[in-house]
Chain A
């Protein structure tokens, strides 16, 4: 029973991170119809920037802020320079470009920051809260993880619902041509969308790194989990991505806790195949016409 509780709590806080990562994928998919396979590498890169700052004596929070800012700039830059030419083109071309970025950024990080494992600090304690005589696997850091993911999600909801710029971003995602006719600078909105998504992705990268070891490939499995979560939620819906992330976090935590941690990525593959075969448009989709 205690193990079940611990595995569930661990799954929830991991799930919150996957939810953030899936949300980043969904934001980009809605805006540009591209799955950004480089998302993990970008997040890893900005996490390394935080690590460099922290190791040079800055506080955790300075590194945290710098990483989010780096994510913002990196996202905007990548959209403008390499993604813009393949937007709206054959979908395979865009996939290949993001895969190229995925390898290139990862190798660049290994060249700049070294390819070895390094420990990343956590701003809060990593020992579990005690309830009576039990110690549960829910740490102050897990609380911070879930809290910051919730804050980011609320901020995004507020941005899209209540601000002028959010409305324009939604308009460009909904119908580029009409939005352009109505005077929305669609190009700028797409850049902004990539930038925000990269910030959310960087947050996921920082939260996964906290209290763990980082190396240039540490986000590789997370790309898979985030993608599975996004597909589970239907790729279109931010709310779906969040629910998908939490479900994937729980499911993988059970697999890891009861079957063996080597099987986690395979379990993710199994879930993905099952979802795609049974409900290819995700758990929350209404019936839609097939895109031709």
Chain B
């Protein structure tokens, strides 16, 4: 570590929570700058990214830290979205209350799913959650009186209150559009979720989850209650998915079965795998990919002379190919590559920390993250 960085370190807060809080505050400033400086179209893209990212950070905690795969997060997002839709009908309550309620309802659903999932591993768990993802949209169609059937529920998204618009105008002299306001809601929620999760995984629970993932028998011998910890991981993850669903409902203004297909769940999985399983930063990176890659790929497709329908299918095609390629070539994802380069660089200089084996065993289970988000 060179002298200037060491000096700078002294001014940083020493607690993990302090450091995470500082990072999130810096990110908040960056978010305000980006949202104010970009067009309404980019604002709505960023709003989309925020709900993907909320779900992805939850999923990365479950899959990366606790080793449980879930293909049911799309379905859990549906639970959150429909709850929000029902609660916001006729502006019955302020939207933060509806979001909290959506989170709680989805967390309760997560207890039920998690209790069943805690006994399963690997392919069994994947199959069971796949059944969840394929089955849950059927509920919306069955109760079409309440949930709107195939057409879905229309959702009145909140309008920016005057005090918020005034405050932001005072700060940035920018007009508060509806898209921008929704992006603020999404990113505010996301930063809060990331702050809470970063603390959670840096602390006792993160350690226990990693222990369960790496060697469940050793963890059990050390006094960890496996079942309880697995259910807890699932509930935390489901709560994130519920919040993501709530943001989705407000941004898209619609909750319909066609929005929560298996492709949504697999897109979330792609995001966390590409970024690097278990890393919050990786999940953010992956969800940026989910938002900004499809338009780019679709453009390439239309340039190559494909019809609109064909070009629209290029994005899922790329998701699938990327999943396979990442798993074969770099199971640690982008964050795994970054970590490996950093270790290699440190060893080449011949000083710094103790030399660790570069990548350990090349598995999903081995990608570890100190918990700094």
Q: Interface majority SS on A: helix, strand, loop or mixed?
A: helix
The answer to whether B123 and A91 touch across the interface, beta carbons within 8 angstroms, is yes
Q: Interface majority SS on B: helix, strand, loop or mixed?
A: helix
Q: Which residue on B lies nearest to A33, using beta carbons?
A: B123
Contact of A110 among B142, B313, B321 (CB under 8 A): B313
Q: Which of B32-40, B99-107, B126-134 lies at the interface with chain A?
A: B126-134
A92 shortest CB reach to chain B, Å: 5
Contact of B131 among A34, A92, A102, A269 (CB under 8 A): A269
Of A86, A100, A292, most B-chain CB atoms within 10 Å = A100
Known: A107-B316, A263-B138. A276 touches B124 (CB 8 A): yes
A264 contact set on B, CB distance < 8 A: 138
A90 contact set on B, CB distance < 8 A: 331, 363-366
Interface assignment of B263: CB less than 8 Å from any CB of chain A = yes
The answer to whether A100 and B119 touch across the interface, beta carbons within 8 angstroms, is no
Q: Mark A19-48, 1 if CB is under 8 A from B, else 0.
A: 000000000010000110100000000000
- A198-232 interface (Cβ within 8 A of B): 217, 220-221, 223-224, 227-228, 231
A263 contact set on B, CB distance < 8 A: 138, 142
B319 contact set on A, CB distance < 8 A: 100, 103-104, 107
B71 contact set on A, CB distance < 8 A: 99
Q: Which of B167-175, B201-209, B322-330, B347-355 lies at the interface with chain A?
A: B322-330
The answer to whether B123 and A95 touch across the interface, beta carbons within 8 angstroms, is yes
The answer to whether A103 and B323 touch across the interface, beta carbons within 8 angstroms, is yes
Known: A91-B122, A276-B116. A262 touches B320 (CB 8 A): no
A103 shortest CB reach to chain B, Å: 4
In whole angstroms, how far apart are the Cα atoms of A70 and B122 in the complex?
29
A224 contact set on B, CB distance < 8 A: 127, 130-131, 134-135
A-B contact pairs, 8 of them (CB 8 A): A37-B127, A93-B364, A95-B69, A100-B270, A104-B324, A262-B141, A266-B138, A276-B120
Give chain A's interface residues, CB within 8 Å of chain B: 29, 34-35, 37, 82, 85-86, 89-97, 99-108, 110-111, 114-115, 217, 220-221, 223-224, 227-228, 231, 260, 262-266, 268-269, 272-273, 276-277, 280, 292
Give chain B's interface residues, CB within 8 Å of chain A: 63, 67, 69, 71, 116, 119-124, 126-128, 130-132, 134-136, 138-139, 141-142, 217, 261-263, 266, 269-270, 273, 306, 309-310, 313-317, 319-324, 327-328, 331, 362-366
